[in-house]
Amino acid sequence: MKKCFFISLFVLAPVTFFAAPSSSAAQQPKMDIKAFVGFSATTFVSMLETGRERDTFAGWQIGFGPRIRRNKAFIEVLFSFNRWALSFSDPSFGTFTGHVNSFELPLNMGYIPYKNSYFKLFLYGGYVNHFNTKTVGTLVDLLGESIDVKLKPKDAGFVIYQALIRLGVNFDLAMFNLDFNYSISLNSATKTSFRTGYHQLQLNLAYLF
């Protein structure tokens, strides 16, 4: 129910954004294309019967997409490729070191509280469609032998789709944009019997076309 509410909200809001009447040419929509790259810290919280266990992994992302401004409101529809490191050990099969590939389709909407010719401040919230695609790495078994593995999300214990809520702040400085955001998953990140929370911080630098 909660997920359907957020989906409906972020589908209807762009319609309202573009349908609102404009009284002057100054309020006509203006579009920028963002091309960005950045770093991330992803934290998984395993909610076990014995308590919560947290693991944090570093990662990076690269992406692009349009941002449309109208007066003091804006929306942006982005695409990004994401990769974060993954390592763990299990006494039953050994140690794994590798990374997880995924891609995201964020829809962000927000408010521009301050702007001038060279600087603009943006506050926003967003709904992010997150898709895990592949886990790649090296498994060192209990005998010390190394095995290269490529796993689908379900074979690695991850869900394929995650619905994320994102809150962020960014600013334009001339033709550059610096963005900081936080995301939390509405559903479990793993297919385990216990829920696994997903929290991510991103810092992105973009060039505006």
Distance CA 159, CA 189 (A): 6
pLDDT tens for each residue of 145-175: 899 999 999 998 999 999 999 999 999 999 9
pLDDT tens for each residue of 28-82: 999 999 999 999 999 999 999 899 999 999 999 999 999 999 999 999 999 999 9
pLDDT reported for residue 90: 79
The pTM assigned to this predicted structure is 0.86
Distance CA 109, CA 93 (A): 45
pLDDT reported for residue 142: 82
Taking residue 196's Cβ as centre, other Cβ atoms within 10 Å add up to 21
User: Residue 54 burial by CB count (10 A; 0-12/13-18/19+): exposed, middle or buried?
Assistant: exposed
pLDDT band at 10 (very low <50, low <70, confident <90, very high): low
Domains of the chain with bracketed CATH: 55-208 (2.40.160)
pLDDT reported for residue 5: 47
Region label for 191, one of left (φ > 0), alpha (ψ between -120 and 50) or beta (otherwise): alpha
pLDDT reported for residue 203: 99
pLDDT tens for each residue of 119-149: 999 999 999 999 999 999 999 988 888 999 9
